[in-house]
Amino acid sequence: MKDALDMAKDFHLHMMLEPEFIERIDEYRYKNKIPSRSEAIRRLIEESLERAEQDQGDEKK
């Protein structure tokens, strides 16, 4: 049986963040000319996950 993540094309995530954290995200967004805050957050998460995967791969060597 498929779980909810498999069935949904996109998954909506609600987050509560401190204003200072939003300011940092917006600074990243504007510096990188990213069209929306949501896209900036997606890119930051993707970059972080890729870095974590690389770090884990380096530890196994």
- pLDDT per position as a tens digit, 1-46: 456 556 667 778 899 999 999 999 999 999 999 999 999 999 999 9
Domain count for the chain, please give it. Answer: 1
Task: Write down the pLDDT at residue 13.
Answer: 86
For tokens 């949501």, name the residue. Answer: 38
Task: Report, as an integer, the average pLDDT of 49-58.
Answer: 89
The whole domain housing 52 covers: 18-60
Residue 13 lies in a domain: no
Please give the Cα distance from 3 to 43 (Å, whole number): 25
- Report pTM: 0.73
pLDDT score for 1: 44
Task: Give pLDDT, residue 40.
Answer: 97
Q: How far apart are CA 7 and CA 5, in angstroms?
A: 6
Q: What is residue 4's predicted lDDT score, i.e. its pLDDT?
A: 58
User: Does residue 8 belong to any structural domain of this protein?
Assistant: no
Decide: 8 and 2 in contact? Cβ < 8 Å. Answer: no
